[in-house]
Amino acid sequence: MLRGWEVEQGRMENAKHKMQNRDTGRAGVASSMNRREPNKPNEPNKPHEPNKPNRSINNVSTADHYGGEQTMNEKRFIGRLGKQICKLLFVVLLLLPLLAAGGEDAVPKGVLPTPSPPGAILRIVTDKAIYSPGEAIAITIETDREGFLYLYEINPEGTVTLLFPNRFQPDPLVPGGILHLPGEGYRFIIGLPEGVSTLVAIFSSHPLPGLAPTEEAPFRRFTVSPAAFARALTQELEEKRWSSAWTQITIHQPLATVYIGSQPAAARILVDGDHHGYTPKEIILPAGKVTITLEKDGYERFTRTVVLHDREVFDFEARLQQAVHPLPAAAISPAFLAVDLGIDSVGVELGIARIIGLTASLRFTGEAPPAAGGVHNLGPELGFGLRLHVPLAEGAFAFIGAGIALQNRTTAPPTRGLAPLSIIIEPIITTALFPSFTIGIATELRHATLSAGYHLRRGFLVGIGLSF
C-alpha cells in the first residue's frame, strides 16, 4: 500500500507540473527544465518517463515544503513566548523596588523590633495621627512594670532626637503604669519638615548611658544616621531585658491659595504684619485664621481677618476708600482762648479744636460832642463775629471771619438853656450796624499761638492764644 501510494503521488506531481508549464509559458518551461536532472556525458538522451516517479525529487520537495511550514510556526511560537517572558520580567523589575520599599516601611530605619520574649509590655500612642506645624502633641506611654524609659524621634529628614529623658525630666526611671508626655514646664511643638515622623519608646531593666540627656540643649540631638543609631543602641541593650514600641505621625502643612486684589491696584499687602508684595498678587498662605491688610498712600487702611482651609482657593478683593487728610496735631486741641489788640480796640475769641471760634470786641470810639445839631457816637463800638481756622502747614494756620459791629449815636442839642425849667430836651439815641470782616495768620508755639491780621472796623491786630 505504501508503494502504490508513492506511484500515484508521482503521477499527480507530473500532471501538476504540466499544468504549471502551460499557465506560465516559457518561464514555466524553464522552471520545469531546471528541476530535471542533466544528462550524463557520452550517454544517449533517455526519453522522459512521466509515469515513473522520481522519488528522491518528490520526497525532497515534499519534505522541504512541510518542513518550511513547521519552521515558520516554531519561529512564531518562540517569538510570542519571548515577548511574554520579556513583559513578565519587566513587570517583576518594576515591582521589586516597591516590594523592597514595603519591606523597609514595615520596620522603619532606626526602630528596634521588640525581642522575643519582650522584657515588658510597652505601648505608645499619640492624641492624633496628623499634625500641622505649630501644634502641640501629647504622647501616652504605658508599661506593666518599673524600669528605665527612653523616647526618641526620627523626623522625616532622618534626624534622631531624644525626647525623654530631657533637661526638664532628666530621670528615666518610671513606675509601672501610664506616663503622659510632655511633663510640667514644657511642651512638644510640631515643626517642619513635612512628612512621616517616627516615635520610638525603649523600656530597659537597666539605665542606658548612651541615651542620657545633655546640658547643652533641652533635647539631645544625635548626628548619626538612624541605622547607625539603631546599631549602637542594639549593642548597648545586649544582656539586658528590654522592650520597644513605636508609632508614626504625619506632619502636614495645610495651605491655601489666596488671590489678593484691590481697587485701585498697587496696594501694599500685609499678612499678619508681614510684607507680601503689592496687589494684584496670588500667594500661598498657611490654612487657619489670617489678617490681611492693604495700604496705599492717599487711601484708608483696609484690614480683614479671614479663615482659610486646606487646599482652598480664596479670592480677596478690596475697594479702598480715599482718606480724609487729618488736621495737624496742634489743631485738634479741645478748646482755645485768644486775645487780640488793635489801635483803639480789644477783642477776645473762644474756639473749639482750632477749627471754629466766636469773637467779641470793643472799639473805643467816644467823641466830644460836636456843634449843636451834630451827630456823635455814644460809647464804644461793640462787635460780634464767627471765625474759621484753616491749617496751612505743620503748626501754621490761616483764619477768616465775618460779623457785625454795633454803634450807638445821638444828636447834640442846639443850645444850652434854650428852654428853662419848663421844657426838658432829651436827645434821640440810634444804633448803627456795620458789617465787619477779618483775615490773618497764626502760628503754634507748644500750647500758645501768636496771630496777626486785619479787621475791617478795627484795623491791624496782633494777638496771643492758649489751648487747653
34 or 361, which is more confident:
361
* Residues 322/304, Cβ–Cβ less than 8 Å: no
CATH class as words, domain 255-319: mainly beta
pLDDT band (50, 70, 90) for residue 171: very high
Mean pLDDT is lowest, of 64-78, 108-122, 428-442, for 64-78
Question: Residues 6 or more apart from 260 whose CB is under 8 A from it?
Answer: 269, 276, 279, 280, 281, 282, 283, 292, 294, 316
Could you read off the pLDDT of 290-320 as tens digits, one per residue? 999 999 998 999 999 999 999 999 999 999 9
Cell digits of residue 238: 545586649
The CB density around residue 256, as the number of other CB atoms within 10 Å, is: 20
pLDDT band (50, 70, 90) for residue 48: very low
**What pLDDT score does 370 carry?**
64
Domain boundaries defined on the chain: 122-251, 255-319, 329-414+424-467
Q: 317, 325, 274, 277: which is closest to 300 by C-alpha?
A: 325
* Residues 263/318, Cβ–Cβ less than 8 Å: yes
Distance CA 285, CA 311 (A): 10
Cell digits of residue 294: 492693604
Q: Given a cut of 80, is residue 77 above it in pLDDT?
A: no
Distance CA 363, CA 352 (A): 25
CA angle 457-463-468, nearest 5°?
125
pLDDT band (50, 70, 90) for residue 440: very high
**What pLDDT score does 270 carry?**
95
Q: Given a cut of 70, is residue 42 above it in pLDDT?
A: no
**Residue that the C-alpha cell 531585658 belongs to:** 241
pTM: 0.47
Q: Matching CATH topology for 122-251 and 255-319?
A: yes
* Residues 205/240, Cβ–Cβ less than 8 Å: yes
Distance CA 141, CA 177 (A): 8
DSSP state of 189: B
Q: Domain 122-251 belongs to what topology? A: Immunoglobulin-like (2.60.40)
E-only strand ranges, 117-254: 122-126, 130-131, 139-143, 147-154, 160-164, 173-174, 177-181, 195-204, 221-222, 242-251
Cell digits of residue 133: 506645624
Mean pLDDT of the chain: 79
Q: 44, 26, 48: which is closest to 36 by C-alpha?
A: 48
CA distances from 243 to 177, 203, 227, 237 (A): 15, 5, 18, 10
Query: What is the amino acid identity at position 79?
Result: G
Could you read off the pLDDT of 205-245 as tens digits, one per residue? 999 999 999 888 899 999 999 999 999 999 999 888 999 99
74 or 461, which is more confident:
461
Mean pLDDT is lowest, of 199-213, 344-358, 413-427, for 413-427
User: Strands across the sheet with 281-286, in order?
Assistant: 281-286, 255-263, 313-319
Q: Domain 329-414+424-467 belongs to what topology? A: Porin (2.40.160)
Distance CA 243, CA 113 (A): 8
Helix, strand and coil in the chain, % to nearest 5: 20, 40, 35
Q: Given a cut of 80, is residue 371 above it in pLDDT?
A: no
Could you read off the pLDDT of 274-286 as tens digits, one per residue? 999 999 999 999 9
**What pLDDT score does 256 carry?**
94
Question: Rounded to the nearest 10 degrees, how much is the dihedral formed by the CA atoms of 452, 454, 455, 457?
Answer: 130
Distance CA 63, CA 9 (A): 14
Q: 142, 173, 139, 167: which is closest to 153 by C-alpha?
A: 139
CA angle 397-359-430, nearest 5°?
145
Distance CA 209, CA 197 (A): 25
Q: How many angstroms from the chain centroid is the CA of residue 125?
A: 32
pLDDT band (50, 70, 90) for residue 116: confident
Q: How many angstroms from the chain centroid is the CA of residue 98?
A: 34
Distance CA 246, CA 240 (A): 19
Q: 164, 180, 155: which is closest to 249 by C-alpha?
A: 155
Q: Given a cut of 70, is residue 43 above it in pLDDT?
A: no
3-state secondary structure of 263: strand
**What pLDDT score does 37 carry?**
39
Distance CA 148, CA 15 (A): 104
The CB density around residue 342, as the number of other CB atoms within 10 Å, is: 21
Cell digits of residue 32: 520545469
